Structures are given as structure tokens and as C-alpha cells.
Chains A and B, each alone.
Chain A
Amino acid sequence: MYNPQLTSEGALKHLLSIEGLPKKNLLQILDTAESFVGVAERDVKKVPLLRGKTVCNIFFENSTRTRTTFEIAAKRLSADVINLNVNTSSQSKGEAILDTINNLIAMHTDMFVVRHSQSGAAHLIAQHLPDNISVVNAGDGRHSHPTQGLLDVFTIRRYKPEMHNLRVALVGDVLHSRVARSEIHALTTLGVPEVRVIAPKTLLPNEVEKLGVQVFHDMKTGLKDVDVVMMLRLQNERMTGAMLPSAQEYFKTYGLTPEKLSVAKPDAIVMHPGPMNRGVEIDSRVADGKQAVILPQVTYGIAVRMAVMAILAGGTA
């Protein structure tokens, strides 16, 4: 079956989404990332794997933090890095995506890391690349943010190795979240038996249970006995779009406070992809508390991205 992410031999060619990524490829990325965690702890944080290669971060949608982690990851692999921020405000219609890509290919780019505000952008680019150039999807619209999904399950695996025994809950705006979709696919692919989503109906996609999750609208029941709580960011547009009345009411019903967290297992870990809205989706006491693993997520994010790039850049003889 045609899979745009894989070569005909089943090796990773592009990283576009966790959905459609076979379990063995997912595990390969996680296992490879383990070695790169060690690299980050040395004085010389570089390995020569991508020396001579050029990685281009094209961000059609702004994000300094994600772009920076990809830049660090590429540089730690000894790659040369180009950063391109393409302004796609409605005023400047500008160059078509594929024209931008073609220009960069002409400048001998070996790998593209792409973020775009539209779902499917990374797939579109992957379809039009010559064979030896890879794409890493750094986030496309609401569809997918695969490296975030990967670093999240990497983090969970580090703290809770018995993944086939876990209860995981995702809390917040699943409807608009590419992070949530990637996390759900990664968890179900790895065989996590219970994946829950907790949100008001206005923030859940139609037929979300078909993704393999249990739906809850109440934090108390949804968080009961969970091992991992994954918070999602709430954006201001949800209030202006008549999906929520106010940030205060959201915090009251779905914000993660120590009281709400207490119904989870006592050793449950709390995660957040960042950046956090303190006092909206998460209480500072939890964000800064013992159960939060938010900062390790960032560290692991670099190792996971190094693993992805190393696997994509390597030959397949």
C-alpha cells in the first residue's frame, strides 16, 4: 500500500504524520533518540552524522521555540542550517509554496523542516521533491505535529516504561490541535490501552472516538486513576469563535489545578507541549510542581528531532 512517508522497502523517507507511521519505524526513532540524549549531556554536544548536509527550516507559520529546537538538533548533527521565515499574512499572497521549495532545492538543500498553517502542506511538499530530499513536518494546520507526538511518548516511556499498562488523558482543545492528533496516534500505535480526551463538546472533533479514544466532559471522572496527564494549549480565538465563554470559566472547569490532579494516580506525570497559559489551562502550582515533566520534554525534544533527522539523512543500502 502506498505510504508517502516510506520507501518501498519500508524505510522512513519523510516524517509527515504519526498516523500511517508503522510501529517499527516509530520505535526506531524512539530507540535512536536514547543515544542522542547522551550526546546532549557531553561537553562536545555534536556528532558528525549530517556534516556537509544542509537543513532548511521553512516556517510559513511563525514559531521561534520550535524552530530553535530544530536548529539546535540539526547543528548537533553537524549540519548547516538555513532559517527561512515566510510571511504569509493575507496581505502578502506572495510566492507559491512549491516555488519557494524549488528555489531552495536549487540551492542544494538536503532536508526541509516545514511548518505551515494549513493541513496537508507537508504532504504537498513531499509529493514534489526529488528522491534524495526529505521533509520533516514541524506542524501543518490542525493535522499533525509528529515530532511533538514522538517526544511526548519518548518522555512517557522514560518515566513510565510499562506502556501497555497505562491510562493517559489529554485535556483541552483537541479539535484545533495537531499536537493532540499526533499524541493520540503515537499512544495507540504503541499499544497504550486507555487514551482519554477531556474537553467540552465544542472543542472536540465530530466522531473523535473513531480515533480510538474515550471521551469525557468532566475532569473528575476523566482524570481518575490516570498515569499521564497531557495538557493542551488554549488559544484566545476559541472565545471569539463562540466555542467558549471565557478563560475564567475554562480554568474553572478544565484547568489543571492540584485539586483536580489529586484524583489521578499519586505518581502521575503532567505534560504540556508549551507555551503554557498559566491560569488558563494549567495552575502554576502544577506547572512548577513535582509531577510536571515539562522541562524534560524540551530536552528530549532535541534528542528526538536529532533521531528523526539522522534516520532520514542516512543511506538505506
Chain B
Amino acid sequence: MMQLPDSEALLNEITAKIAALIKPNSVIVGIHRGGVWIMEHVLANLKQDIPYGTLDAALYRDDFAQRGLKTELQPTNIPFDVQDKHIILIDDIFHTGRTTRAAINELFDYGRPASITLAVLINRDGAQLPIQPQIVGAAIPLKPNQRFQLSQDSQGKLKLALEKKQDTSDV
């Protein structure tokens, strides 16, 4: 039985690494939904006021022709000008890299950022594109039929769970 890491510990890990990167033009964007929860925790723990936004990559996914708009769309809200900003992009689980690709495409429709740094809670390994996260809480490779599920309870506490996959299309 795999021992799952404590979410709090992972959060602190990546918060520290993110804090080290903050520059004058830095902004933070969380990818719905797990990435947004993590971003909220990170922002609460950072002692600075940084512009932030939320992003739903669903409209830029590459599997629309197969799956359609499967999940409920969340609002994308980028309340700052993307031009020349250093974006710290936050997601919960990094797997194939396709969600990141979609998020990058969407960000570029808003303008030309100076840089994008990807921070994730867990890298489960399995990139299908030449994309890698620069900030990782923990690297835990999984088998193809397994997946991590991040959830948030009513008090805002994050919980990580390991599941067997029924739907192999969730990347």
C-alpha cells in the first residue's frame, strides 16, 4: 500500500519554492479546480499581495472532438494584463502535460507573458509533450490505471486520495 504524502507538507514545500521566485512583475494563475484551491492556500501563506487569476483550460483542450465539453465550465478570470508578466501557473497533478499546453495557449490569447513557470503539488510522471513542471511538491509515478484525486472539504482543508481509474481520458 502506497503511503500518500501529507497535503499540508506538500503545500508548504511549493509555497516556499514559489516565494523564492517572486519578482516585481510576477502574477499567479491557478488552473481550475485543484490548481485554484492550491493557489488560494499559497496566496494565504505568502506574506505578499500578488495579482492572481483563475483559468479553466476546458475550452482549449485537445480532446474536444472525442469528449466534448465534459465537465462543468468554471469561470476564467484574468483581471490583469498578461503582457510582459512572469506567470506562475499552478495545477494540482502533472501527468501528460496536455492541460498545461491548453492553459499556455489560453494565456497567450490574453497577451505575451515574459515567462511562465509551472508549479504542481504532485508530478505523477507520464509526459506526452515536451513540457515539465519546474516546481514540484512530490514526484510519485503511478501506473496507468491509477490516479490521484485532490479534494477540498468544507473547512478548506485539502485531501489527497489514490483511485483506480474508470475513465482513461482524464489527463
Residues of A within 8 A of B (CB): 11, 31-32, 34-35, 38-39, 42-44, 46-49, 310-311, 313-317
Contact = CB atoms under 8 A, between A and B. Distances in A.
Given A34-B73, A42-B110, A315 B67 contact: yes
B148 interface: no
B109 A46 contact: yes
B61 to A, nearest CB: 9
B106 to A, nearest CB: 8
Contacts of B169: 317
Interface residues of B, number: 22
A38 B65 contact: no
Given A42-B109, A43-B110, A317-B169, A35 B56 contact: yes
Nearest to B65: A315
Contacts, number: 57
14 contacts: A31-B73, A32-B69, A34-B75, A35-B58, A35-B73, A47-B59, A47-B60, A48-B59, A310-B59, A311-B69, A313-B65, A314-B67, A314-B68, A316-B67
B64 interface: yes
B117 interface: no
Interface in B97-147: 105, 109-111
A39 B55 CA distance: 12
A314 B65 contact: yes
Contacts of A316: 67-68
Contacts of B110: 42-44
A49 B58 CA distance: 9
Ranked nearest first, the 10 interchain pairs of A and B with the lowest CB-CB distance are A314-B68, A44-B109, A35-B73, A47-B59, A315-B66, A317-B66, A315-B68, A315-B65, A317-B67, A314-B69
B67 A32 contact: no
Contacts of A44: 109-110
B151 interface: no
B66 A35 contact: no
Nearest to B69: A314
A38 B77 contact: yes
Given A35-B56, A315-B67, A317-B67, 14 more contacts: A11-B68, A31-B72, A32-B73, A34-B75, A35-B59, A35-B74, A35-B76, A44-B110, A48-B59, A310-B69, A314-B68, A315-B63, A315-B65, A317-B66
Contacts of A39: 59
A150 to B, nearest CB: 16
Contacts of A43: 110-111
A311 to B, nearest CB: 6
B21 to A, nearest CB: 27
Contacts of A35: 56, 58-59, 73-76
Nearest to B109: A44
Contacts of B75: 34-35, 38
